[in-house]
Structure 1
Amino acid sequence: MSSVGVVTPFWLDRPPSEALDIAVAADETGFGTLWIGEMATFDAFALATAAGLRTSNISLKIGPLAVGVRSPVALALGLSTVVATTGRRASLALGASSPRIVTEWHGRPFEPVRLMRQTVRDTRAILDGNRVNGFRLQQAVPGTSISVAAFGPAMLRAAAEEADEVVLNLVSAGHVAQVRSELTQARVPPPIAVWIPAALDPGPDTLRQLRSQLAVYLAPPGYGEMFTALGHGELVERARAGAPRASLAQDIPVSLLEAVGVLGSAEDIARGVQEYFDAGAEHVGLVPATAEDPAGRRLLTTLSPLLATGGR
């Protein structure tokens, strides 16, 4: 059954604490899943604990977290701590992240595909209560779902073979359909979850916020090729040549924002979400734009009844 959740964004032009306000708004408006990632503000497990203590029903999906930054023991301890201290359902998501975050920030080698398979296997075994490399978790969380964020054929193969769910971020519905087709080659194709920016009746500040975020993704492998296929190769070439992000952002057309997000009226957004389901996604995580809608509360309040028929 298809479902719609909410993602805590980390907009650079908003206070970090807004992530908790979004968690509360998502819970109060009846969404069933809250994704909690990690960037340059809060530790994801600490933020998930705080969100769990401030909400009533919403389940917590922590990540995608950079594989290789935390060991399987650290990942299992973090997830177990969130469940034990909040009493909330929680699951885990892992991803490649980027060389800048993994190598420059954390001083770890960037070998995500090599590490992913073993990390998923070991983390799952530890959470199930098994002893791994001499360690056994005292508060096991058996049956915990582990998702893998995948971009590129090698990571997609690893996700198809090891993960309970494949996560795609900032992609078009067409890209989801392509990934769904590729996953059919797997013995048991995992479900697909997709994160997409969402903005209700966006004004200039919201469009500026969305453009600034998308500009970060123009150059990286995979994303750049997708944006080129969507007809925006000139922007990708400029990004890869080192053009300033601010210059790139101001030239991103609304049509590109609409290709990888859902913008407009409530009905427009609901139709856009359905397009992702039709393309093969089982879950859509909405990333609320908050420049003109603090905590995304107006967006979530308006969309909740419209999206209820798709399952939450």
Structure 2
Amino acid sequence: MKSVGVVTPFWLDRPPAEALSIAVAADEAGFGRLWIGEMATFDAFALATAIGARTSDISLTVGPLAAGVRSPVALALGLSTVVACTGRRAGLALGASSPLIVSSWHGRPFTPVGSVRAAVRDARALLDGNRVDGFRLRQPVPGTSISVAAFGPALMRVAAAEGDEVVLNLVSVDQVAHVVETLSELTPVPPPIAVWIPAALEPGAQTLRQLRSQLAVYLAPPGYGEMFTALGHGPLVERARAGEPRASLAADIPTALLEAVGAIGSASAIADRVSAYFEAGASHVGLVPATAEDPAGARLLTTLSPLLTKGHL
């Protein structure tokens, strides 16, 4: 079944607490699922608990979190706390993240494939109520859905084998179709695919600047750079990998690249774009609302909700 949700973004040019306002706007607009990630502002489980206290019905997916940062016990305790304190449906999403976040920020070894596989297996066992290494949750959450963020062949194999869902961020429609094909080759019953895409309703100059600034962060990392190169933007990737500052890179990102990995324009254009991701094989689309000229994404979410959540796609 196809669905559209909302992602709490962490725009570098916006107040951190806007994440709470976005959650409320998404809930009030009738979206059924909210993704709660983690960067340099809030602990994701604490934020999810706060969101649960301020919203009424929207289900929560915490992550993708860096699998190598928290132990499986910490992951299970966090998710159990969210469910127990909010009474809300909640899922967990895990990914490899990056050496900067895992090793530099948190001082943990960066072993992407092994850490993701172990975290998914052990967190699932703990949430189901099983004992792992002598520990058992007092408040298990059996049947918790665990999504896996995958970019690259090795993590795609982990996602196919261990995940209940594969999460893709900032991808083109063609890339989704490629992932569908890859997953079908890896397993007889591929997990569904969730896609995160930036979304902006009739964006002005400030919004386009916000989108460009955030996308510039992803030009250099492996996987993303290759995809942007395949889309015809190899020179930008080369400049990013050579160490050029993000601000100058952002200034040169063309609108065509924003359109290739997002949904911007009129309400009908955004709805058509979401439909294109579904047609390529996605089961869920998470909208990352641009907020530079639309605080909390309220106008975007209110306008799009009737088109995206009421069976009109």
> TM > 0.5 between the two?
yes
- CA shift, 1:311, in A, is 8.1
Secondary structure class of the residue paired with 2:232? coil
- CA shift, 1:116, in A, is 1.4
Contact 1:2 1:311 in 2 (8 A): no
CA distance in 1 between counterparts of 2:20 and 2:4 reads 19
Contact 1:150 1:159 in 2 (8 A): yes
> Could you list the per-position Cα deviations for residues 253-303 of structure 1 after superposition, in whole angstroms to 9, with x for gaps in the alignment?
000000000000000000000000000000000000000000000000000
- Give the match for residue 235 of structure 1: 236
- Give the match for residue 12 of structure 1: 12
- Give the match for residue 274 of structure 1: 275
CA distance in 1 between counterparts of 2:206 and 2:134 reads 53
CA distance in 1 between counterparts of 2:312 and 2:120 reads 28
CA distance in 2 between counterparts of 1:66 and 1:311 reads 35
Give the paired residue count: 312
Matched to 1:152, the amino acid is G
- Give the match for residue 145 of structure 1: 145
- CA shift, 1:188, in A, is 1.7
Contact 1:228 1:236 in 2 (8 A): yes
- Give the match for residue 28 of structure 1: 28
- CA shift, 1:68, in A, is 1.0
CA distance in 1 between counterparts of 2:263 and 2:160 reads 27
The answer to whether structure 1 residue 300 and structure 2 residue 263 are counterparts is: no
Structure 2 matches for 1:181-196, cutoff 5 A?
181-185=181-185, 186-196=187-197
- Give the match for residue 65 of structure 2: 65
Matched to 1:195, the amino acid is W
CA distance in 1 between counterparts of 2:222 and 2:193 reads 21
- CA shift, 1:309, in A, is 3.9
- Give the match for residue 258 of structure 2: 257
- CA shift, 1:117, in A, is 1.3
> Could you list the per-position Cα deviations for residues 108-130 of structure 1 after superposition, in whole angstroms to 9, with x for gaps in the alignment?
00001011112111100000000
- Give the match for residue 204 of structure 2: 203
Contact 2:196 2:287 in 1 (8 A): yes
> Could you list the per-position Cα deviations for residues 111-167 of structure 1 after superposition, in whole angstroms to 9, with x for gaps in the alignment?
010111121111000000001100000001000000000000000000000000000
Which structure 2 residue ranges, 5 or more long, are not aligned?
Answer: none
Q: Structure 2 length as normaliser, TM-score?
A: 0.99
Which structure 1 residue ranges, 5 or more long, are not aligned?
Answer: none
Matched to 1:3, the amino acid is S
Percent sequence identity is 79
Secondary structure class of the residue paired with 2:131? coil
CA distance in 1 between counterparts of 2:114 and 2:130 reads 23
> Could you list the per-position Cα deviations for residues 68-126 of structure 1 after superposition, in whole angstroms to 9, with x for gaps in the alignment?
10000000000000000000000000011110000000000000101111211110000
Contact 2:96 2:115 in 1 (8 A): no
CA distance in 2 between counterparts of 1:278 and 1:264 reads 20
Q: Structure 1 length as normaliser, TM-score?
A: 0.99
Contact 2:6 2:34 in 1 (8 A): yes
Secondary structure class of the residue paired with 1:77? helix
CA distance in 1 between counterparts of 2:268 and 2:226 reads 30
CA distance in 1 between counterparts of 2:143 and 2:101 reads 30
The answer to whether structure 1 residue 160 and structure 2 residue 167 are counterparts is: no
Contact 1:147 1:164 in 2 (8 A): yes
- Give the match for residue 225 of structure 1: 226
Matched to 1:146, the amino acid is I
- Give the match for residue 98 of structure 2: 98
Secondary structure class of the residue paired with 1:117? helix
CA distance in 2 between counterparts of 1:112 and 1:78 reads 21
